Structures are given as structure tokens and as C-alpha cells.
Structure 1
Amino acid sequence: MCGRYVMARAVGDLLADFDAALDEQVMDDVELPPSWNVAPTDDVPIVLERLIDGAAVRQLHVARWGLVPSWAKDPGIGSRMINARSESVLEKPAFRKAILSRRCAVPADGYYEWKKGPGKARQPYYVHPQHGDSLAFAGLYEWWKNPAVAEGEPGRWLLSTAILTADTPPPGAESSVFAKLTELHDRVPLPMTQATMAAWLDPRADDPGALVDLVTSGVQEAAAHWHVESVGTAVGNVRNNGPALIEPVQALF
């Protein structure tokens, strides 16, 4: 799964990396500071495509991490919807509408996972691409209308997102990283290549099942280039932030 991650790139870098534009009306007065400890319900950048005058336009938006379905009575449900299992996303009530036409990419630099030790001990690890490359996780987004806020007022609409997950690739001779990932968790956030991201974001695509198959088919190749490093336990506290959180340390066990 993915319960904490790092997204420390500037807005300008994201726009360049994803060849995206700002929706200035949505992004107006929204700050997006770098974070080395993104937690559920935090504001995060997402990349999506919209049809404008018949053409697909790629845009950068800011969404709350934890998808709030349009039918939810309040946004609190989103804290339990940070991830969507790729195997069941087509059937789950919270995600089955979003998968049809509200697909996005969730930029990240890497993510955290914890290894269980003796007693209550847990060792955090930072999983990230080698050579400082960036990630784009397959995601979904949804709009929720707040009935307590008048039409046209700030806060009337809440944009939220969830990250798709897949089975951790099984250990094999092709890459030792899979063995390390398997020790940490049986799920990984679903990464995309430039090609699969283009297909995933396309608002004209009408076969979500084929898109899920497409992005999940590439998880083994993408994850083979990840690096797994033990980091300090400070990341376990959401109030801690800063680049020191991803500095490698000696594992406790």
C-alpha cells in the first residue's frame, strides 16, 4: 500500500515534467509547498486531462489525498480511501464511477513503507527510483459538493484523489529489489511510464478495464529500478518534515 510519500518538486518543475498547464481558476491562491512526509488528507498535486473544444488538455490540479465519492455525506470518508486496489477498482462503489472518466497521475519522488520487527518495533524504508528520477502513480480523482456551502462560494467543491495499488512483484533473479519490497508489504503503489500514463489520462478512452490491465502489466519493469533504503523513525510522526527524513540510516533490525 501507500500511506506516506514524498512530493518535493516545485510547481514549475511539475509543469515541465508532465507537459501540463495550470488551470488558473482552480489553482488561484493555492500553495503547494514541498513535502517529505505527505500524509492522508494532505493537499497533493495531480495531473489530469480534460476535453476543451474537442482537444485533450493536460492540467495540474491540487487535490486532497483520500478520495471522497460524490455520494458521500461528508468528506471524512476520504481518510479511508487513500488507495484503490487495481483488482477491484472497477466494482468498488467508491471508485467505479471515477475509473470511467476521472483518471489522473499522482506525482511523487518516492514513498515510505514500514517493516515489522520484534514487539511493536517498526523500521521505516524509503522506496524511490534510482538516480533521482521521478514517479507518476496511477490515480483516480473525484469532485464532492459541500451542501453546507452556497453555490459560487469558496469550498463548495472538494477535489480528492486516490492512488491505485497492485501486488508486489514476486522475488526473482532479475532484480533483488523485489525481495526487499516483499519483506515490507504485499502491495505497491502502481507506477506508470510515459506511454502508459498517456493512455491512462486520455479522457476519450472508453475501456477502463483495458487501461487497468495496461498499467498493471508494467509494474514489474518499473519497480525493478526502485531503490529501498532504511530511514529514521522520525517519518512516523506527521508533524516532522524536511529532506532529513529520507537520509539513509542503519536499520534497527
Structure 2
Amino acid sequence: MCGRFSLTASPGEVEALLGVVDIEAFPPRYNIAPTQPVLVALSTGPREPGSNRPDREAKLVRWGFLPSWVKDPKKFPLIINARSETVAEKNSFRAAVRHRRGLLPASGFYEWKREGGKSVQPYWVRPRDGGVIAFAALLETYSEPGGSEIDTGCILTAAANEEFAPIHDRMPVMIPQDQFSRWLDCVNNEPRDVADLMTAPQPGVFEAIPVSNLVNKVANTGLEIQERVEPAELVAPAGRKSKGDDGQMQLF
């Protein structure tokens, strides 16, 4: 799964990857957590002949998907991930995977290895070749009872590949850059047409670096949370963490 991630690339690097323009400047973000705003790119739809309108746009959404039919968000579980194997069948995601697929840029993500039901070791998981990548995202605009709207999103996950499985049984779906257009084209491509993209990356794409449990706390937002720390050197016992701090939230 993906309960925390990082985006430290420059706006220019993100624009170049996603094919969008005019992204507002933002500082490096080392510990992005659920409910925080996250950047996504989506298709602007078919263009009229002769139009100069961009094919894609970038926007900020809340990381925490809210289906349009939810009556009371306070009583609805926080959805930060969706299982790629079942999104086309689940009522929560059926419309989004058909009409509102997006790309979420990231420099890497964090995962916690669990033993005996406890999180025992966090890892910083980054592309071996560096740079910025894009996770598969689903988007939904939720209309609140008072009339205001909030854009929300979640990250798709898949069964982990054999290299990552010893750490966790799920990992984010990464969309290759040469498949961005096919993934974002919700007019011509139904979920079944992009099902082959909703899988785990091949082994060798990522490297997992053991880090300290500083990443467990949302307040820790500096580069030090990505520094290699072998398990015996952890700064403090993992202890009991809040639901919002450990990143291990229940998946659909």
C-alpha cells in the first residue's frame, strides 16, 4: 500500500514529466500524509480542431477519496488507497476509474515492514534511477451539504512484486511515462482497456532503504527522515502509533 510518500522534484521537473504547464512553485515535501493536499494531473478531454487548450492540467486534491454518494464524511473511512484488482467492481470507485483517472507525481514512498501484527521497520522506497515518477490515481469531486466542493483522490495499489513482497504485500501502481496518454484517456479507454497498467512495477525499478521511525510522525518533514538507518540504530522504539501516523490503514 502507500501511506506516505515524498515529492522533492522541482516544479519544472514535474511539468516535464506530466506534460502540464504553470504549476505553482512548491518546496520539497519529504513526508506527505493522508488528508494533505497532493498534486495530480488529469486529461482536459478532447480538443476542438485548432484549439490551443492543453491536453492535461494539474490540480491539488485532498489525499483521501470521498465518493459522491457519501452523506456524512465524518462517518466515512479515510480512503487513501484502492485495490486495482477490484476498483471496476466497487461502488466507491466504479465511476472514478471509468471517468476520472489521474497521475500523482512522487519521488518515492514509505512502507513499514510488519512482524507479528506490528510495524517494525520503515523503508524509504525510491526509483533506482532517481527522478520523479507517477502513481496511478483516482479522483472524485465531493459536493458538501452546504454546497461547497472538494476535490479528492486516492492511489491505486497492486499485489507486490517478488522483490518488494518481503516488506509488504501491496505496493503503489506506477504508470510508465509512455503510457500516460492511454491511462488518462477516459473517453476512449474503459477500465478493461487499461487493466494491464494496474499492476505492480517490475522488480528492479525501486530500491528500499531502511530509515528511522522519524517518518512515523507527520510533524517530521525534513530530509533526515530519508537517511539510511539500520534497524539496530532506530532512534526510538516504534511504540504505539495513532491511526493517522503509522500509514497502515485498511484497504478496500
TM-score range, shorter chain: 0.7 to 0.9
Tell me by how many angstroms 1:144 deviates.
Answer: 0.7
The answer (yes or no) to whether the contact 1:85–1:165 under 8 Å persists in 2 is: yes
Tell me by how many angstroms 1:191 deviates.
Answer: 0.7
Aligned mates of 1:45, 1:141 — CA distance in 2: 11
Tell me by how many angstroms 1:53 deviates.
Answer: 3.9
Q: Percent identity?
A: 36
The answer (yes or no) to whether the contact 2:136–2:173 under 8 Å persists in 1 is: yes
Change (3 A) 1:131 1:6: same
**Match for residue 159 of structure 2?**
167
Tell me the secondary structure at the aligned position of residue 97 of structure 1.
helix
Tell me by how many angstroms 1:182 deviates.
Answer: 1.2
Aligned mates of 1:127, 1:142 — CA distance in 2: 27
Change (3 A) 1:189 1:52: same
**Match for residue 82 of structure 1?**
80
Letter in 2 for 1:36: Y
**Match for residue 108 of structure 2?**
110
The answer (yes or no) to whether the contact 1:166–1:187 under 8 Å persists in 2 is: yes
Question: Which residue of 210, 215, 220 maps to 1:240?
Answer: 220
Tell me the secondary structure at the aligned position of residue 80 of structure 1.
coil
Change (3 A) 1:246 1:148: same
Tell me by how many angstroms 1:123 deviates.
Answer: 1.1
The answer (yes or no) to whether the contact 2:101–2:138 under 8 Å persists in 1 is: yes
Tell me by how many angstroms 1:18 deviates.
Answer: 1.3
Letter in 1 for 2:139: Y
Letter in 1 for 2:181: A
- Please list, as runs of the form range in 1=range in 2, the aligned pairs for 1:34-113 lying within 5 A after superposition: 34-51=28-45, 53-54=47-48, 57-76=55-74, 80-113=78-111
Change (3 A) 1:129 1:230: same
The answer (yes or no) to whether the contact 1:66–1:78 under 8 Å persists in 2 is: no
Aligned mates of 2:133, 2:75 — CA distance in 1: 27
The answer (yes or no) to whether the contact 1:6–1:109 under 8 Å persists in 2 is: yes
Letter in 1 for 2:98: L
Tell me by how many angstroms 1:32 deviates.
Answer: 4.5
- Please list, as runs of the form range in 1=range in 2, the aligned pairs for 1:129-144 lying within 5 A after superposition: 129-144=127-142
Q: Can you list the C-alpha shifts for 1:15-68, whole angstroms capped at 9, x where unaligned?
A: 22211134xxxx8xx885432111111100001011264477211110100111
Letter in 2 for 1:183: P
What is the TM-score of this pair, normalised by structure 2?
A: 0.82
Q: Can you list the C-alpha shifts for 1:186-213, whole angstroms capped at 9, x where unaligned?
A: 1110011112222101132232122122
The answer (yes or no) to whether the contact 1:36–1:242 under 8 Å persists in 2 is: yes
Q: Tell me the matched-pair count.
A: 229
Aligned mates of 2:187, 2:213 — CA distance in 1: 44
Tell me by how many angstroms 1:80 deviates.
Answer: 2.3
**Match for residue 169 of structure 2?**
186
Change (3 A) 1:78 1:38: farther
Aligned mates of 1:233, 1:126 — CA distance in 2: 11
Q: Which moved more, 1:106-115 or 1:194-203?
A: 194-203
Change (3 A) 1:240 1:78: farther
| Higher normalized helix content (fraction of residues) | 1
Aligned mates of 2:25, 2:69 — CA distance in 1: 28
Change (3 A) 1:106 1:77: farther
What is the TM-score of this pair, normalised by structure 1?
A: 0.82
Q: Any unmatched runs of 5+ in structure 2?
A: 234-252
Letter in 1 for 2:196: D
**Match for residue 6 of structure 2?**
6
